[in-house]
Amino acid sequence: MPQRHPSAQKRHRQSLKKKERNRAVRTEMRHEIRKVREIVAKGDGTTAATELKAAVKIISKAASKGVIHKNTASRYISRLTKQVAGTPASA
């Protein structure tokens, strides 16, 4: 760490921890989104609806933690919901 002041060193350590946590949350979110999209591509509406529920929870949690913006989360949720609604037997 090139910082000299102890407070700057601490802030740097904190930022590294936060970066790792954010990366983990973002990765988990992307995996869930990918999973839903793959199920939609297969055309399995009932499984897609179940996976969508899990994905929405993770996306909302990422937004509440500040990893992504709330409008970005809303956009992801909206688009995924629209895709799942378009699959057969999703009702």
- Sorted by where each begins, the domain ranges of the chain are 29-91
Query: Residue 86: which residues within 8 A CB-CB, separation 6 or more?
Result: 40
Rounded Cα–Cα distance for residues 88 and 20 (Å)? 39
3-state SS of the chain: helix, strand, coil percent to 5? 80, 0, 20
Q: Rounded mean pLDDT of the chain?
A: 93
What's the pTM value of the predicted model, to 2 decimals? Answer: 0.85
Question: 16-41, pLDDT tens digit by residue?
Answer: 999 999 999 999 999 999 999 999 99
Q: Please give the share of the chain, as a percent, with pLDDT higher than 90.
A: 87
Rounded Cα–Cα distance for residues 76 and 71 (Å)? 9
Look at 6-20, 46-60, 76-90 and tell me which has the smallest mean pLDDT.
76-90
